[in-house]
A and B are shown apart, each in its own frame.
Chain A
């Protein structure tokens, strides 16, 4: 098979680019510690509310500058709806769903996970700056999917974060989301 010189050159450059892409993937993982959600345990979706840590959704301090946010997704709200975390600390988000597949995406960050019934989703993120971020369910989950969102409030480092926050707010929000859903449904 005769292959033209230009063609060889084109394919060689292409191959180098693709190998570089693959190496970049390895580099991001090993050197920068950018991990994807991994195998992080199971939970029975019918029993989420009775299974630790999901029996107490909220934010917990797990070490100096280390927090865990435990979140439940269900049609069509997050619990807690409002999550307060300090800037500069390593936050582990631990989440699951009680019903269908939901998304868990914090706008403007790379914190992006799927919540799949039966599975525990986990990933970590450090917010550099204080501010407010949308927490969006970005997987279709039924009629009122477009109402399902929450808020991450990043407070300045050193501010006291109320541990286990947002429970009451969540209940209200779930109710109002359900009301909105009924409205959409006519």
Chain B
């Protein structure tokens, strides 16, 4: 076996200042607060497909769609980004063995809280029941758009923090390769910086002034295209923090190793290059966009599947190394030797396995002919509850099982509950997705209050019931997760809390010469990504005749 190298500068230890520990912890708690609200609405949404309406039990809730807006905004915007805002800078600081900038941590935290308050005001008051996609000309209150803009600003502060740490580290370590964990953490948010620009234009130039009455009309196809310009890459921004854990931390947790340093960096570069120029596959059924442009995005979408395939191999190989080191033999004997009783590992392995189905259904979405069968049916939420809803969410829950003890300096309380949470959640999502995917293939519409719809198809009967059962199980799983986190914070023992993050080692060290150091020159890769983006979006943006035809509608 090759020499063993760490993915961080100083594997022996790291001191996180107590003040920073506190900000990071509270950043994550904000996300948890959002997630709690979000999953209650998720339960109501899932039960609606089974023909059961529990909306009456929600104090202050006016409509199903208000709850659905809360579900989407809380779960995929606030929960995911708050976690990334804390997790990625922490990983960067740890990898470089440098303290973070406390001022920037606070700036990120405060903008996040402000954004949250504005968005909650708008959604809870039923001033913004436009769903998280915010399609014009449905018009929300300006506080909704401004709240989401502030959320994005908070991510920029987090990125600035990482870049500062990296620049400082580079000055002190000329000629050294960037430690792998820092590289993948920073690159994840560099990709997001590029990806976020179109939605920033959509909100700041169009929707926010329009909601304030400073701009009378917008062009709905243009704003929708700007949304999806960001909107596909955003799913990779949700996914990449989970990948950071799978690549750099999970191998250590199972006693394995990252199989290759360069290979891992290439995966992140492929995400940087290919995540963004693929957004139009969400718009296959839109008028006003040529089939040629859609085909370009379709082919690139198949391309961005490649780094995930590569990940499947690497991560499974890392698991296998761990299983064999623990005494597993034979073709599959290593699987039994994995630490299935470790709640952090269990959650993440189940997340990975579910992601296989999530990825496969994603390929279907990218196909012209299949997309027309399933577009905007429940197939799509069936798919993405296995990707962002499990591969990401369950991984972040798994990470929390060591991260919250690390940040709060308390030992995890309720190992058994945590294990049960992951199993119930995973079985739940598989039943839920089976229902949604089956219903979707028979045209069951997504984003629709089925419990009170005045049309039905017999083919949706069983799928609707499965959706309700699976969704209820997912809800129970998340509630158990919160029970474990709450008990840990309150009752966890002080002694024996983790003193460091579980940093892995790699089998192959980063090369100092040859072509591999090129991978660290992020500037060049950003330029290459911009070129691809111009190829994929340039023809549409140049050729599109912007006609602002729509005033705002508040039909909620």
Contact in complex: A117, B376 (CB < 8 Å) = no
Interface residues of A in 27-67 (CB under 8 A from B): 28-29, 32, 34-40, 42, 44-46
A143 to chain B, nearest CB (A): 5
- In this assembly, does B455 line the interface, its C-beta being within 8 Å of a C-beta of chain A? yes
Contact in complex: B309, A36 (CB < 8 Å) = no
Contact in complex: A146, B376 (CB < 8 Å) = no
Asked whether A146 and B453 contact (CB < 8 A) given A37-B287, A116-B221, the answer is: yes
B264 to chain A, nearest CB (A): 11
- In this assembly, does A168 line the interface, its C-beta being within 8 Å of a C-beta of chain B? no
Residue of A nearest to B305 (CB): A18
Could you tell me the distance between the alpha carbons of A14 and B549 in the complex, rounded to whole angstroms?
A: 45
**Contact residues in A for B376 (Cβ distance below 8 Å):** 103, 105, 112, 114, 138-139
Contact in complex: B369, A42 (CB < 8 Å) = no
**Contact residues in B for A103 (Cβ distance below 8 Å):** 376, 445
Could you tell me the distance between the alpha carbons of A118 and B553 in the complex, rounded to whole angstroms?
A: 15
**Contact residues in A for B455 (Cβ distance below 8 Å):** 134, 136, 149
- In this assembly, does B485 line the interface, its C-beta being within 8 Å of a C-beta of chain A? no
**Contact residues in A for B375 (Cβ distance below 8 Å):** 105, 112, 138
Contact in complex: A114, B447 (CB < 8 Å) = no
Contact in complex: B309, A99 (CB < 8 Å) = no
Could you tell me the distance between the alpha carbons of A32 and B511 in the complex, rounded to whole angstroms?
A: 50
Range of interface residues on chain A? Answer: 35 or more
Could you tell me the distance between the alpha carbons of A26 and B291 in the complex, rounded to whole angstroms?
A: 11
Could you tell me the distance between the alpha carbons of A147 and B371 in the complex, rounded to whole angstroms?
A: 24
Contact in complex: A11, B367 (CB < 8 Å) = no
**Contact residues in B for A142 (Cβ distance below 8 Å):** 65, 138, 553, 555-556
Contact in complex: B550, A25 (CB < 8 Å) = no
Of the residues B372, B377, B508, contact of A1 by C-beta under 8 Å: B508
Among A2-10, A82-90, A153-161, the stretch that binds chain B is A2-10
Asked whether A139 and B368 contact (CB < 8 A) given A29-B295, A119-B287, the answer is: no
Interface residues of B in 119-135 (CB under 8 A from A): 131, 135
Of the residues B64, B221, B371, B372, contact of A119 by C-beta under 8 Å: B221
B176 to chain A, nearest CB (A): 18
Residue of B nearest to A149 (CB): B455
Asked whether A114 and B285 contact (CB < 8 A) given A75-B555, A146-B449, A146-B453, the answer is: yes
- In this assembly, does A165 line the interface, its C-beta being within 8 Å of a C-beta of chain B? no
- In this assembly, does B220 line the interface, its C-beta being within 8 Å of a C-beta of chain A? yes
Could you tell me the distance between the alpha carbons of A134 and B447 in the complex, rounded to whole angstroms?
A: 17
**Contact residues in A for B289 (Cβ distance below 8 Å):** 38-39
- In this assembly, does B516 line the interface, its C-beta being within 8 Å of a C-beta of chain A? yes
Could you tell me the distance between the alpha carbons of A112 and B373 in the complex, rounded to whole angstroms?
A: 7
Contact in complex: B288, A117 (CB < 8 Å) = no
B171 to chain A, nearest CB (A): 28
B525 to chain A, nearest CB (A): 17
A11 to chain B, nearest CB (A): 6
Asked whether A100 and B508 contact (CB < 8 A) given A1-B263, A110-B372, A116-B221, the answer is: no
- In this assembly, does A121 line the interface, its C-beta being within 8 Å of a C-beta of chain B? yes
Contact in complex: A11, B310 (CB < 8 Å) = yes
- In this assembly, does A111 line the interface, its C-beta being within 8 Å of a C-beta of chain B? yes
Which of B291, B295, B368, B453 has the most C-beta atoms of chain A within 10 angstroms of its own C-beta? B368
Interface residues of A in 94-118 (CB under 8 A from B): 99-101, 103, 105-108, 110-118
B194 to chain A, nearest CB (A): 23
Contact in complex: A111, B372 (CB < 8 Å) = yes
B281 to chain A, nearest CB (A): 10
Among B31-39, B296-304, B350-358, the stretch that binds chain A is B296-304
Could you tell me the distance between the alpha carbons of A15 and B309 in the complex, rounded to whole angstroms?
A: 9
- In this assembly, does B209 line the interface, its C-beta being within 8 Å of a C-beta of chain A? no
Of the residues B63, B291, B299, B443, contact of A134 by C-beta under 8 Å: B443
Residue of B nearest to A29 (CB): B368
Contact in complex: B555, A143 (CB < 8 Å) = yes
Which 10 pairs show the lowest CB-CB distances between chains A and B?
A142-B555, A107-B443, A138-B445, A110-B372, A14-B309, A146-B453, A121-B287, A138-B376, A119-B287, A118-B549
